């Protein structure tokens, strides 16, 4: 009888210990979740507090829509930097978007299975190359090419232009978007493709009407993440875009994106409070734009999922 009571007590002891251990692990996971949830808010609050000095001194409209950038005179107009960032980002997506989408379709539905196994390491290598290497590559190859191209089209330039930055940036984000697109298209059930083919549809009609339609929310997500990555890229674009404080009126003109402004000036301007605050405001603009774009992408994903 004593042995029976002892065994029951031992079982209860181990059961209580397992429950406490499970609650402890649940608590750690909940704390980690809260930290991840709070990080964007902490980043936004920190950037706002650091840029509060210039926000108090200048009106928001003046900061965002003025093209006058003379920090030593107290003039901080961010419009040239915002326009340059939009130019480079939109052009890079227009260049790499069709390449990524058609490559993903080819690798998942036309190429042999062995080709996809070969391409995965290649994509990973491209994604892992440091951005400064892409910048050096852009200086060696893309800058002379754009200079000659612009001269032949009647737009002489030094080669350090918006188009150069967009080409280099598009090459940088191709592996990032392509990897996601391959995974998204592969998640479409094989049965849907077989059902479409059995009804007499051609392979391209099946891809266009079934595969792409079913994976459309994931495609939006892939390009949304790609745009967010492109908008904040710094070193490679800084090396080839020209860094001239002027609103670009064409792709063969130099630009000066917001990340390049921060990277070029932050270290040496810490001793000037207003300049430091202006650079923090540039970072705040980047944060707000990327956040707004991600929210918009999420809304499009939800809307498209409901329609599908």
Q: Which residue has the tokens 């090459």?
A: 171
Mean pLDDT of 141-154: 92
Asked whether 237 and 88 are in contact (CB, 8 A), the reply is: yes
pLDDT in tens, 155-192: 899 999 999 999 999 999 999 899 989 988 988 888 88
Query: Which residues on neighbouring strands pair with residue 70, listed in sequence order?
Result: 75
* Cβ-contact 237, 131 below 8 angstroms: no
**Residue 122 confidence (pLDDT) above 50:** yes
Angle between helices 216-231 and 273-307 (to 10 degrees): 170
Domains in the chain: boundaries: 2-50, 60-307
Q: How far, in Å, CA of 40 to CA of 53, rounded?
A: 21
pLDDT of residue 134: 93
Q: Which long-range contacts (CB under 8 A, 24 or more apart) does 133-140 make?
A: 134/168, 134/171, 134/172, 134/236, 135/168, 135/235, 135/236, 135/237, 135/238, 135/239, 135/240, 136/239, 137/168, 138/164, 138/165, 138/167, 138/168, 138/236, 138/239, 138/240, 139/239, 139/240
User: What pLDDT is stored for residue 1 in this prediction?
Assistant: 47
Residue range 253-269: mean pLDDT, rounded:
85
Cα atoms found within 13 Å of the Cα of residue 179, Cβ hemisphere only: 16
**Span 264-288, pLDDT tens digits:** 887 766 677 888 889 999 999 999 9
CB 181 within 8 A of CB 104: yes
Q: CA 162, 164, 165, 169 torsion: positive or negative?
A: positive
Q: Is the pLDDT of residue 208 over 70?
A: yes
Band the pLDDT of 9: cuts 50, 70, 90. Answer: low
Tokens 């402890």 found at: 24
Beta bridge pairs of residue 75: 70
Judge whether 268 and 177 are in contact, CB under 8 Å.
no
CA dihedral in degrees (42, 45, 48, 50; nearest 10)? -60
Architecture of domain 60-307: Orthogonal Bundle (1.10)
Residue 210 near residue 193, CB atoms below 8 Å: yes
**46-87 pLDDT tens trace:** 999 989 889 888 888 888 988 888 888 888 889 999 999 999
How many percent of the chain have pLDDT more than 70?
Answer: 91
The tally of CA atoms less than 13 A away on the side-chain side of residue 20 is 6
At 69, is the secondary structure helix, strand, or coil?
strand
> Is the Cβ–Cβ distance between 76 and 94 less than 8 Å?
no
How distant is the alpha carbon of residue 6 from its chain centre? Answer: 61
Mean residue pLDDT across the chain = 86
| Tokens of residue 215, six digits | 């994976």
Q: How many CA atoms lie within 13 A of 84 on its CB side?
A: 35
Cβ neighbours for 286, distance < 8 A, ≥ 6 positions apart: 85, 231, 232, 258, 259
Residue given tokens 């923090």 in the structure block: 280
């Amino acid at each position: 009888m004593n042995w029976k009571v002892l065994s029951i007590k031992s079982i209860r002891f181990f059961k209580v210990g397992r429950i406490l251990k499970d609650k402890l692990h649940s608590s750690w996971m909940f704390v980690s979740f809260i930290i991840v949830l709070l990080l964007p808010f902490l980043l936004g609050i920190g950037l706002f507090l650091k840029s509060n000095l210039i926000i108090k001194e200048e009106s928001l409209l003046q900061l965002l829509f003025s093209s006058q950038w003379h920090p030593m005179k107290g003039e901080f107009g961010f419009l040239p930097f915002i326009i340059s960032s939009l130019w480079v980002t939109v052009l890079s997506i227009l260049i790499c978007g069709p390449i990524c989408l058609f490559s993903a379709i080819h690798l998942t539905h036309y190429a042999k299975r062995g080709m996809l196994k070969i391409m995965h390491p290649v994509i990973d290598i491209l994604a892992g190359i440091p951005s400064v290497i892409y910048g050096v590559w852009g200086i060696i190859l893309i800058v002379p090419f754009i200079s000659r191209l612009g001269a032949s089209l009647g737009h002489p330039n030094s080669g350090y232009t918006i188009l150069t930055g967009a080409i280099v940036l598009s090459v940088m984000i191709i592996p990032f978007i392509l990897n996601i697109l391959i995974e998204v298209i592969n998640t479409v059930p094989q049965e849907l493709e077989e059902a479409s083919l059995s009804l007499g549809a051609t392979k391209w009609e099946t891809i266009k009407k079934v595969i792409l339609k079913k994976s459309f929310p994931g495609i939006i997500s892939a390009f949304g993440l790609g745009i967010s990555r492109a908008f904040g890229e710094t070193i490679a674009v800084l090396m080839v875009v020209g860094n001239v404080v002027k609103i670009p009126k064409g792709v063969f003109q130099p630009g000066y994106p917001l990340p390049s402004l921060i990277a070029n000036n932050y270290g040496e301007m810490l001793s000037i409070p207003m300049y430091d605050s202006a650079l923090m405001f540039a970072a705040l603009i980047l944060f707000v734009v990327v956040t707004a774009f991600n929210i918009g992408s999420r809304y499009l994903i939800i809307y498209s999922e409901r329609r599908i």
